[in-house]
Structure 1
Amino acid sequence: MPTYDEPWPQGTPCWVDCQVDDTSKAREFYSGLFGWDIQDSPPEAGGYLMAMKNGTPAAGIGPKPEGMPVPSAWTTYFAADSADDIATKVTDAGGRTFMSPFDVLDAGRMFVAADPTGAVFGVWQAKAHTGAGIFNEHGAYCWNELHTRDYERAKDFYTSVFGWTYTEIGDGENFRYSTFALPGGEVIGGIADDTTMLGEKPPHWLTWFQVADTDAALVKAAELGSTGGTVVTGPDDGPAGRMGIIQAPQGEVFGVIDPTRTVGQFPGQQD
């Protein structure tokens, strides 16, 4: 069971949470789907819920900001040694912050921003809460990827902010996709060129949760989502695993994947 109890290296996807209208309904859906033990936080946390897996923080669920008509969505947070320093880098590189960095009780310091292509992400400077303590496990996040229409601009932005380096695994034409890593480090996520795939959907960061059985997870999501949740795509097989996309009852979208069931190779791979 991969676990982590230290602050994540700067630029690493370190936490995911979703903002919804009704946290009670979200608690019911996600505890049923992933087996999360979803716990209440102290009253001063404003109704934020902590999803635990095997006694370790896996994700968060919170109410939408009061008075802000935003869609329900999952947010990917990147670790920062200093949220204030990263906020400056975001604006210098052409992104925008939605608020100045602020303290979250004694848990950490954060802000939410959008990259120049319009995709929203969070930045987390760990204090008492170091981020996800479990990953690459059934019911825990295992991958975060950007879907954007401005592929090269997005890559330049995140290199300026976090120092990412890229490895192209697509064919450069029909499938443009890069994995990203910290300098000298392991691969930690991906960026997809969705110029012809997004349709009317805006650029976004997509959170993927690992599951032991993709087919069973999609069936369960459909059952739990009988009041509005749907299976958007899948199950589909590919080089990364057997996967599907789910829209939860309140509208937030996420992926599920069994990475042990791979089929074929990425275009850039060789036999």
Structure 2
Amino acid sequence: MSEVTAPYEPGTPCWIDLMAPDQQAALDFYRDLLGWQGEVGPEEFGGYSVCALKGKPVAGIMKSMAMGDQPAPPPTWTTYFSSANADATQAAISANGGTVISPAMDVGALGRMLVAADPQGAVFGVWQPLEFPGAQIVNEPGALVWNQLSTTDPKAAGVFYQAALGLEAAPIPEMPEFTGLMVKGRPIGGVQGMENLPDGVPPHWLVNFAVDDTDSTVDALVRAGGSVMAPAFDMEKVGRMAVLQDPQGAFFAVVAQSTPAAS
């Protein structure tokens, strides 16, 4: 078990959550696909569900709701980066060309959060932990293993995330042909251009889940009403991957790793 017991370094992806029109259907889908357990949460937190793997929190699922006269947002997975001070991070985001979508706010005694978009439009979250540090299992089947940024301007994105979150854009040591985003020299995510993506796809962060078998996971997703965006393929030094869409429209990827990831 790749259990997280130490605090996340600032800038490290520490949590992910999904907004979906049908929260219960999403809970059921990811329970069957990834082995999570979760239920609709208390009303005081908007019914937010903390999903667990082997009894440890790994992701959140909430019902998407309209805000004011705006329509409900589309089904989306959001990556949250750990911060020692959400308000200072919010100021850095604004000062470097980002857009604050939901300003920093307290989530009970659990932590302080905000949601923003980088200058190219990719949406991400920030989490300042108090009582809740974030995901307690990562880098094993059923849990988050990687976060990938697709952007129209990788160089500018690297500059932004360094200024706003303290990340460094640099070649990944084991795969120098790929650019990683680093925390103290450790890759915590990747960044790539959008040349190979279909027209109309906006800049975005893609969550990647580890699985035991990519092909069987894809088969299960299709049987459950999901869609395959990029069929299973082998990626040298990484493993067998596929990019998928759940039945309500949220995108994510799965990978059966060729070598276990560092926790």
**Letter of the 1:58 counterpart:** V
**Which residue of the partner structure matches residue 258 of structure 2?**
260
SS state at 1:88 partner? helix
Match status 1:36 vs 2:39: no
Residues in 2 aligned to 1:112 and 1:254: alpha-carbon distance in whole angstroms: 19
**Which residue of the partner structure matches residue 126 of structure 1?**
129
The superposition leaves residues 122-172 of structure 1 with CA deviations (integer Å, 9 ceiling, x where unpaired) of 0000112110000001100000010001111101000111222233369xx
**Which residue of the partner structure matches residue 90 of structure 1?**
93
Shift, 1:18, TM fit: 0.5
Instruction: Count residues in correspondence.
Output: 254
Given that residues 39 and 52 in structure 1 are in contact (C-alpha distance below 8 angstroms), is that contact kept between their aligned partners in structure 2?
A: no
Given that residues 58 and 135 in structure 1 are in contact (C-alpha distance below 8 angstroms), is that contact kept between their aligned partners in structure 2?
A: yes
Match status 1:234 vs 2:220: no
**Which residue of the partner structure matches residue 116 of structure 2?**
113
Aligned pairs (5 A) from 1:1-271:
1-67=1-67, 68-69=70-71, 70-168=73-171, 177-183=178-184, 185-225=185-225, 229-239=226-236, 240-260=238-258
Please, which runs of 5 or more residues in structure 2 have no aligned partner?
none
Shift, 1:31, TM fit: 0.4
Residues in 1 aligned to 2:186 and 2:146: alpha-carbon distance in whole angstroms: 13
Shift, 1:39, TM fit: 3.0
Residues in 2 aligned to 1:15 and 1:169: alpha-carbon distance in whole angstroms: 22
**Letter of the 2:43 counterpart:** P
The superposition leaves residues 59-100 of structure 1 with CA deviations (integer Å, 9 ceiling, x where unpaired) of 000111333421110000000001000000000111010132
Given that residues 113 and 126 in structure 2 are in contact (C-alpha distance below 8 angstroms), is that contact kept between their aligned partners in structure 1?
A: yes
- Normalising by structure 1, we get a TM-score of 0.89
Give identity over the alignment, percent. 39
Residues in 2 aligned to 1:121 and 1:38: alpha-carbon distance in whole angstroms: 23
Structure 1 residues 35 and 26: CA distance shift in structure 2, 3 A? same
SS state at 1:40 partner? coil
Runs of at least 4 residues off by over 4 Å: none
**Pairwise CA RMSD:** 1.8
The superposition leaves residues 8-60 of structure 1 with CA deviations (integer Å, 9 ceiling, x where unpaired) of 11100000010010101101110010111113322211111111000000100
SS state at 1:101 partner? strand
Please, which runs of 5 or more residues in structure 1 have no aligned partner?
263-271
Residues in 2 aligned to 1:12 and 1:169: alpha-carbon distance in whole angstroms: 16
Residues in 2 aligned to 1:66 and 1:176: alpha-carbon distance in whole angstroms: 42
Structure 1 residues 176 and 96: CA distance shift in structure 2, 3 A? farther
Structure 1 residues 71 and 154: CA distance shift in structure 2, 3 A? same
- Normalising by structure 2, we get a TM-score of 0.92
Structure 1 residues 129 and 25: CA distance shift in structure 2, 3 A? same
Residues in 2 aligned to 1:216 and 1:49: alpha-carbon distance in whole angstroms: 27
Residues in 2 aligned to 1:169 and 1:186: alpha-carbon distance in whole angstroms: 9
**Letter of the 2:66 counterpart:** E
SS state at 1:197 partner? coil
SS state at 1:38 partner? coil
Shift, 1:261, TM fit: 7.0
Residues in 1 aligned to 2:13 and 2:25: alpha-carbon distance in whole angstroms: 26
SS state at 2:141 partner? coil
